[in-house]
Amino acid sequence: MKITKVDVLRAKPNERGWTPVLCRIYTDEGIYGDGEAALGYGGVSRSAFGMVQDCAARILGMNPLEHEVIWNHLYRNCFWGRNGGPLVFGGISAIDIALWDIKGKAYGVPVHELLGGKQRESLRAYASQIQFGWGPDYTPARSLEDYAREAKKAIDDGYDCVKADFFSYKEGEGRFTENEQAGLLSQAHMKLVEERIVVTREAIGPDNDIILENHCYTDAQSAVQMANMAKAYRMFYFEEPTTPHPELLSYVHRETGLPVASGERIFSRWQYEKFFKEQAIQIAQPDIGTSGGITEVKKICDMAFTHDVGIQIHICGSPIVTAASLQLECTLPNFVIHEQNVWSLAPSCRELAIHDYQPHGGKFLIPDLPGIGNEISEKAFAEGEVVTIK
């Protein structure tokens, strides 16, 4: 079997400019596979679109079933691969996911069978980023009533865990600025964050979980301020408290006792190794769409297991990267919880693939179709920007 061409797709931007970057790899045996570079947000989708094209040009004529050979070829053949960042590893990710999809289809089995089998039949999921409003519409939470309402909506949908950033949007218009988020937090800001946490806890009750999201907004000391205040309200874990550096995250964990989660801005096993050795994170959050695909993230997860680090795959992409993530997550003995991002509820996201997988009762079932279990829709191809590499 040989790779004959690759379609690289930059999807139509949604209402907030979120623009997924996807690919489809074709073979001489008529089998194709789909993948994603999960960089449709954060201002780099055009760069990712080009990166996937560059990666695609390097694999024409190769055997798609040899995913390790192709992964190492891309990593070593690109000068920027060694210790690379999100663009290089995002490009490799898109190719790698599509290769696993092809392999599953070629052998007629879901990817989770190729990875060793399901450890569990369903995955606990949480409602992620409720500060954007839990539902298909973008309605940011600003008032205390907003936070309580959006948290309750997620619980009513069957989730028993929510994640919120309590220090992103102001009570009135706009977001907090970089200067307002820098340095030690003022008493006014601490009071606002605490009030938002309190109403969220009251809305979901004592038996459900809250993940404290921080998006690396603060420095390490102000993250400690926030976490020590939040501990009284029983946080499940503290996500991206500050810049993802092993010494800084170790400091936050040591000074607060809260489990620290990070990983969406850490790339490859080489970068993760020091975080594990220094016990800087208790929950690793690699993204299959930005950290080297299934091939690399499986190795990161196995490395985490040897350090008693749990796994919550980071997911903020289309249904393609969600399907690929489910295939890996269900095989992991150190799986913790699945991220159901609020953008997965938007019609503009759900229409990108032929299957609309969603959790039921806060649980995600695992697709058993051959490959990753989903495909890019014709609508996505028709409305997006496509470049064919052949």
Q: Which amino acid is at 112?
A: H
CA distance 297 to 112: 14
CATH number belonging to domain 3-108+376-389: 3.30.390.10
- What is the structure's pLDDT at 17? 82
Q: Identify whether the C-beta of residue 35 lies closer than 8 Å to the C-beta of residue 293.
A: yes
At residue 235, what is the residue type? Answer: M
Which residues are registered as beta bridge partners of 238?
212, 260
Buried-exposed string 342-372: b where 16+ CB fall within 10 A, e elsewhere: bbbbbebbbbbbeeebebeebbbebbebbbb
The list of the chain residues with pLDDT below 50 reads none
pLDDT in the model for residue 204: 99
- From residue 146, alpha-carbon distances to 78, 151, 189, 348 in Å are 47, 9, 18, 24
- Give the pLDDT of residue 98: 99
79 exposure class (CB count in 10 Å sphere: 0-12, 13-18, 19+): exposed
- Given a contact cutoff of 8 angstroms between Cβ atoms, the answer to whether 342 and 132 are in contact is yes
CATH number 3.20.20.120 given to 114-365 = yes
What is d(CA 171, CA 102) in angstroms, rounded to the nearest whole number?
48
277 and 250 in contact (C-beta within 8 Å)? no
Q: What percent of the chain has pLDDT over 70?
A: 100
Angle at 365 between CA 359 and CA 371, to 5 degrees: 120
pLDDT digits over 130-180, tens only? 999 999 888 899 999 999 999 999 999 999 999 999 999 999 888 999 999
What is d(CA 305, CA 333) in angstroms, rounded to the nearest whole number?
8
3-state secondary structure of 102: helix
Do residues 336 and 312 touch, judged by C-beta distance below 8 A?
A: yes
Beta strand 209-213 pairing with 310-311: unpaired
pLDDT at 14: 86
CB-CB contact of 368 with 110 (8 Å): yes
**pTM attached to this predicted model:** 0.97
Query: 107 CB contacts (<8 Å, ≥6 apart)?
Result: 114, 370
162, 300, 185: which is closest to 241 by C-alpha? 185
What's residue 63's pLDDT?
Answer: 99
Side chain identity at residue 76, one-letter code: R
- Ramachandran class of 17: left when φ > 0, alpha when ψ lies in -120 to 50, beta otherwise: left
Q: Where are the domains of the chain?
A: 3-108+376-389, 114-365
**Which of 354, 217, 290, 295 lies closest to 45 in space, CA to CA?**
290
